[in-house]
Structure 1
């Protein structure tokens, strides 16, 4: 083991930690770069404005780059970012992700302070802060707006505080990794290393200081009760605060009980061409109680029994599934599928099964008895059970319902959406997320495919209430076939997303865009069919307001819808996603906030890089090796599949069942697997035409029991034996194989064409300083080659147009104009940056 440097400490600066294990010290200087996290929220009615402040401190004797992977609410709109250091404040700018990374890398290489905030999943974000000088504190602030879901007289403010370890399927990819997490990038999850931060085992001293305060304004409504379900809180007037000593190991959940009302809020754009010519609206319709006769339905229940469901989560999942089965009537049909790395169902071996059966007393009893025997084990292979469920529901004239009970801790969300989105068309999808650090972003996206409900259960005490909500959703809705029209304003087509249905006790909430002056009498008319098939109509008059959160919340919902359609296979949406993000100033997966200081702080850039480890979520079982207060640093790709990050210990499998994975299936697949091209879920992953500004080995990033042990501190796998240190990894971006070239005549360049155009572009740039006459000759030669290439492709309008311009240029032509035109066209067609996977830009 080699230790590059250790921050010097005087004897009076540290003391042994009682009962913490060999070599564990307390030091005021800290062992980890993240010193504190502060969350300040202002709740007003059914929306909240939140400021998240993260303070990083460099306890080392060299310049530092710190990385922190953390969660945010999946429906929150991040609208601002700033960095504060050495008395200087730098406001972040929202840019296309590749450009933001290039700005950050350039500033860090030049020794300037910089920070970048990126979205890797709807609820997983990464912040990097570069060139923190020794002893310095750098603070970054994120500003966001989030809507609050409302049901049965209560709104819920949920704020996640930890990214839980996720199951990473697939075969590891060759080359460098996209990030520094414990999982290797795979063909199923090409950015796995960005969403799997190392895990801090219990007992490690000097945890991150957490403060969280929520100021509640009922916005004129009567606030009857405030409840916190997972944390101890203190109330001071209308402000609720976390009690001191709480840790970043579970979601913060606050439920606010008050009566919502039907309302239409109109927010004109501040920068529109006229007063109120365009704007954003927020519509909330509270349904009136009414009879709802249940119609016969087909229900498929899919239950996650993977290793991460160990403990109270498996108990709650079994109860939830049994509750759903018990609520079915004799006119319904149903099927139960349980999955880990295999899919199982009630029934004896060789009986077939997994088909829809009548919900008779006998069949329901048999299913509940089967559910009661299930234990957690294995990995989380979710695609096959969802595909089976879609097949079972595919040929039915009945109301079709799919209910998924899981913690959602998977990394291949986009692959799952792409494989299942088309097959679940017309199916109402409800998701029940059971965990104290649930993957709410993915479960919300999946439920959105079928305009269903996503119910999050953070404790067994919440289960009955949550299942009552799901039961109502499985039953018949009050109003269906909704449409929206304007009177005095014009709702913009496509801006409202899916309207869904109206259910008992659940207000319908719609955000959208409108055009028109929206005067005092402006209103919208909501129409549909009630449970008996009769016309139903509600008119709501609008109220003008100045509330920027309405605009940003709509933009975030619009971006999430576009991103889900992109993940489901529509690759033409990338440009619209980027332009929407930049126009409305809301962060998405294709953009990033970057803040760059103009002053040089560290000559030569950071000499040390650290990825901040995160807490193991509360309630997750820890491996036996967790007794020593050591940090599980990120593992090299070759070791990752065999011994992944710490996870709940698997229960013993039943006789004849498939063996459990070494650590409940959490890993990157079998070691030694060959890397292949990225799957169709991520087309556009092209060879990198730009050199990486960060290429080269990464200095030690993890930290063990010493102030600067880095990766030299051996990680401890679940078996308890130290893992020998492996060679350090490169931060250079992987070069996965590109998708196959397109057919001739399609007009879309394939691999070979892009490679050739990139080479032509390189030649042009290399000859840019030549005299005009020489450049004209080179352009004429280029025109002849492009014309021949267009013929070979069976026609290509852009190439033909450029070739014609270059061929017709005479000796007196403007070489500069033609040169710029050729460069722009070749850049657009070779697309060396835009077409790279957005998580690696």
Structure 2
């Protein structure tokens, strides 16, 4: 191994700044501020989110920020402001919006793009920010507020927590700039895995958040914030200055709701029906309890999860049957199959739960399969129930819906989310499939109240088999009606042609039940947006479960109603040229470690994977070449040929741009906290990243005398194609990048046991660091040689990470499509 020290002048410690803090001549990270302003009226909130960016560098910048939004929020507006210019965003089909953004950057114009990667995870890129310039982007949205037990909840997430990434890494350019490689199970993992700051840094982003409650017509009894200290002024609450973006903001508003039908005058309705004063019929149940014991559930979350699971077991009676499954990377059962819920068996289950601790990864698909298999042969007359206790931090949501969604829709599914930055969107989708409930527990203080609610919801609903009569609704537009549970009103949205009232029908205690609700016309455009978002969510879930012919309908609905979805994007493009050919520097904003997570203080623990990048300091990396680690033959055999860091993408710079992160992966070398050179590469999926595999050695590999392994050129062609893609993606020839490329090609040549073309090109690229080197000539030479080595067909140039056009074909012959069409 060759280790080269950094020049001390490049990375000077900041006095009293805490462990690992660094100062560079380039300044701090680009995201300066996040401002959230909410107006709450009844059961809908209108929200504006403004993100302020500043370019601390002396070159033009593209900044990327991966952030959460409420999973049911309808994003209806996007605006960019810079240099006294205001540019309104336009909603377009996603590939078209990305092409407009890339074209604007190449032409030297400012541009910004907002994309949805999950129902609650979004990405904003702002390009061609001039040195020292400030740019702000604003998102406008409407979100419905869930109402249960006499209180509405306004929940606004502030951090994207690390998610478990299963599957095997796939070839081709990465979809994004994150720390995790894309896998066959999560083809866009690099878009939902931003680097994470080490705990203990001074807050790098100014956060302001205020919520004003319109109390007109409401008897507001109480406002309560469960995770933040707030200041109240009338009906407005504000966060105190100095709060960090490391946990959800949760505000509960206690008031009495009423049954109502609101008509917006434009063909959209919102229906609320309070639970009737009935007693639910007690039906014998077959219940499977799934408890997540993965590494992300450590600390207070594991304590809460065990208590929650034990309380659920206590709801059972001897006429019920149940099973308890705990899971991480493996699934363990408390006992074989479904057993009678006798006192003895319930005691055994609670004993088993008491011994459970956090470990491993969140392999959620297999326990769901086992649960549906256990309940698949249930006797008639028994209610089939699945209860999942988890934080939901997985990246393969679509894969889970596709492979388990059909079976889950035939039984009742309740989810209990435990986290201060919970994956509420996914847990809500799972519960919605099975006409169940999703309960969120954000702190130990909330556990008892939440468990009281869960105790009542686990039982049979008050009213089932719901339908609407008298209102002429448009077929296929009414959101899922589900069932009415104790303390939980029915909330439904839809489109209608005629009618001024509706009759809700269902079955209660085995008998017909109905309630007539008169309509009231209101001037509230948010009703239309909230319906469109809920309708799009249902269509997207059906797409994820295999109905891929729905894509045109989803795009058409999104554009018609002006609501962002996975197949569309907002893009704002300035008309004025302000820079040369594209940004000279790219940075992905690292995020805070989630509050309450037991993240490592130095190197990531095994449960979070070898590839999850914990950023060692709140600053961007300077544009300088980092020395590549030397690779022994053992390293090459273990998968470091080509560089895991280069393949996964540097933490703060886009893949292939020669912009390594402070504390992030070094091109040509292993990732921090990852496998040691010469040591084994951890197998399997990880949180936030994974080591890249070694180039596959096809049959026919052999060893020369002396023991040095050799492999065929075909085994590294995918890596060479990826290098060619990244080379073509450079906005201009870059000597530092070319020098780094030479070291990676030399490593590949060594892996092959010698290759004249690769060795010759690597030797030529060494000259990139010599005075007077011709960047254009070396760049063209590298393109020429790599094109020949990859089969003679030059891949299409990609403007940057996540190019909409397919990358190199994977080894099974299939080509990667656009990442947003995963599933």
Q: TM-score, normalised by structure 1?
A: 0.75
Match of 1:446 in 2: 430
CA contact (8 A) 2:10 2:24 kept: no
Match of 1:679 in 2: none
Match of 2:290 in 1: 302
Find the partner of 1:370 among 352, 359, 383: 352
What is the SS of the residue equivalent to 2:165? coil
Q: Aligned partners of 2:35, 2:591: CA distance in 1, in Å? A: 16
Instruction: Let me know the Cα RMSD of the aligned residues.
Output: 3.7
Deviation at 1:695, TM superposition (A): 4.6
Find the partner of 1:604 among 581, 604, 619: 581
Q: Name the CA shift for 1:33/1:183 in 2 (closer, same or farther; >3 Å).
A: same
What is the SS of the residue equivalent to 1:624? coil
Q: Aligned partners of 1:153, 1:7: CA distance in 2, in Å? A: 60
CA contact (8 A) 2:398 2:822 kept: no
Find the partner of 1:332 among 320, 336, 340: 320
CA contact (8 A) 1:72 1:123 kept: yes
Q: Name the CA shift for 1:202/1:668 in 2 (closer, same or farther; >3 Å).
A: closer
Q: Aligned partners of 1:419, 1:496: CA distance in 2, in Å? A: 25
Q: Aligned partners of 1:410, 1:421: CA distance in 2, in Å? A: 16
1:95 to 2:165 alignment: no
Match of 1:167 in 2: 164
Q: Aligned partners of 2:725, 2:459: CA distance in 1, in Å? A: 54
Find the partner of 1:147 among 144, 148, 151: 144
Q: Name the CA shift for 1:229/1:22 in 2 (closer, same or farther; >3 Å).
A: closer
Find the partner of 1:525 among 503, 507, 520: 503
Deviating more after overlay: 459-468 vs 407-416: 459-468
What is the SS of the residue equivalent to 1:365? helix
Q: Aligned partners of 1:699, 1:509: CA distance in 2, in Å? A: 54
What is the SS of the residue equivalent to 1:421? helix
Q: Aligned partners of 1:47, 1:266: CA distance in 2, in Å? A: 14
What is the SS of the residue equivalent to 1:377? coil
What is the SS of the residue equivalent to 2:377? coil
CA contact (8 A) 2:174 2:648 kept: no
Q: Aligned partners of 1:6, 1:238: CA distance in 2, in Å? A: 53
Deviation at 1:201, TM superposition (A): 1.1
Q: Note the alpha carbon deviations across 1:413-433, whole angstroms, 9 max, x for none.
A: 100110101122321111111
Q: Aligned partners of 2:153, 2:15: CA distance in 1, in Å? A: 39
CA contact (8 A) 2:199 2:601 kept: no
Match of 1:265 in 2: 262
1:18 to 2:48 alignment: no
Q: Note the alpha carbon deviations across 1:335-391, whole angstroms, 9 max, x for none.
A: 0111111000114xxxxx1x1110000000000000000010001111100000011
The unaligned stretches of length 5 or more in structure 1 are 270-278, 348-352, 648-658, 677-687, 701-709, 711-726, 742-750, 756-831
CA contact (8 A) 1:20 1:204 kept: yes
CA contact (8 A) 1:696 1:732 kept: no
CA contact (8 A) 1:215 1:239 kept: yes
Deviation at 1:72, TM superposition (A): 0.1
Q: Aligned partners of 1:629, 1:190: CA distance in 2, in Å? A: 27
1:536 to 2:523 alignment: no
Match of 1:731 in 2: 801
Match of 1:820 in 2: none
1:390 to 2:372 alignment: yes
What is the SS of the residue equivalent to 1:614? coil
Deviation at 1:30, TM superposition (A): 5.0
1:234 to 2:235 alignment: no
Q: Name the CA shift for 1:19/1:594 in 2 (closer, same or farther; >3 Å).
A: closer
What is the SS of the residue equivalent to 1:179? coil
Q: Aligned partners of 1:196, 1:226: CA distance in 2, in Å? A: 34
Match of 1:744 in 2: none
CA contact (8 A) 1:183 1:644 kept: no
1:320 to 2:308 alignment: yes
CA contact (8 A) 1:106 1:693 kept: no
Deviation at 1:675, TM superposition (A): 8.9
What is the SS of the residue equivalent to 1:101? helix
Q: Aligned partners of 1:302, 1:123: CA distance in 2, in Å? A: 23
Q: Aligned partners of 2:819, 2:600: CA distance in 1, in Å? A: 35
Deviation at 1:52, TM superposition (A): 0.1
1:666 to 2:672 alignment: no
Deviation at 1:156, TM superposition (A): 0.2
Q: Aligned partners of 1:128, 1:408: CA distance in 2, in Å? A: 26
Match of 2:421 in 1: 437
Match of 1:359 in 2: 341
How many residues are paired up?
A: 677
1:58 to 2:42 alignment: no
1:510 to 2:543 alignment: no
Instruction: State how 1:366-515 maps to structure 2 within 5 Å.
Output: 366-396=348-378, 397=380, 398-486=382-470, 489-515=471-497
Q: Note the alpha carbon deviations across 1:136-195, whole angstroms, 9 max, x for none.
A: 000000000000000000000000000001111111112221111010001110100000
Q: Aligned partners of 1:610, 1:699: CA distance in 2, in Å? A: 17
CA contact (8 A) 1:177 1:184 kept: yes
1:620 to 2:597 alignment: yes
CA contact (8 A) 1:7 1:59 kept: no
Match of 1:591 in 2: 568
Q: Note the alpha carbon deviations across 1:808-837, whole angstroms, 9 max, x for none.
A: xxxxxxxxxxxxxxxxxxxxxxxx9xx744
Deviation at 1:225, TM superposition (A): 0.3
Q: TM-score, normalised by structure 2?
A: 0.77
Q: Aligned partners of 1:580, 1:732: CA distance in 2, in Å? A: 24
Q: Name the CA shift for 1:420/1:3 in 2 (closer, same or farther; >3 Å).
A: same
CA contact (8 A) 1:302 1:336 kept: yes
Q: Aligned partners of 2:449, 2:31: CA distance in 1, in Å? A: 37
Q: Name the CA shift for 1:628/1:73 in 2 (closer, same or farther; >3 Å).
A: closer
Deviation at 1:476, TM superposition (A): 1.6
Deviation at 1:474, TM superposition (A): 1.5
Q: Aligned partners of 1:197, 1:75: CA distance in 2, in Å? A: 22
What is the SS of the residue equivalent to 2:447? helix
Q: Aligned partners of 2:412, 2:22: CA distance in 1, in Å? A: 52
Instruction: State how 1:49-128 maps to structure 2 within 5 Å.
Output: 49-128=46-125
CA contact (8 A) 2:13 2:21 kept: no
CA contact (8 A) 1:169 1:667 kept: no
Q: Aligned partners of 1:699, 1:615: CA distance in 2, in Å? A: 33
Q: Name the CA shift for 1:674/1:555 in 2 (closer, same or farther; >3 Å).
A: farther
CA contact (8 A) 2:682 2:691 kept: no
The unaligned stretches of length 5 or more in structure 2 are 604-613, 622-643, 650-664, 675-679, 698-720, 734-739, 741-767, 769-797
Deviation at 1:202, TM superposition (A): 2.2
Q: Note the alpha carbon deviations across 1:55-82, whole angstroms, 9 max, x for none.
A: 0000100000000000000000000000
Q: Aligned partners of 1:330, 1:645: CA distance in 2, in Å? A: 53
CA contact (8 A) 1:307 1:665 kept: no
Q: Name the CA shift for 1:591/1:4 in 2 (closer, same or farther; >3 Å).
A: farther
Deviation at 1:290, TM superposition (A): 1.9
What is the SS of the residue equivalent to 2:399? helix
Match of 1:808 in 2: none
Q: Name the CA shift for 1:543/1:607 in 2 (closer, same or farther; >3 Å).
A: same
Find the partner of 1:569 among 542, 546, 554: 546
CA contact (8 A) 1:161 1:249 kept: yes
Deviation at 1:840, TM superposition (A): 9.0
Q: Aligned partners of 1:264, 1:604: CA distance in 2, in Å? A: 55
What is the SS of the residue equivalent to 2:485? coil
What is the SS of the residue equivalent to 1:513? strand
Q: Aligned partners of 2:148, 2:646: CA distance in 1, in Å? A: 46
Deviation at 1:839, TM superposition (A): 5.8
Deviation at 1:567, TM superposition (A): 0.5
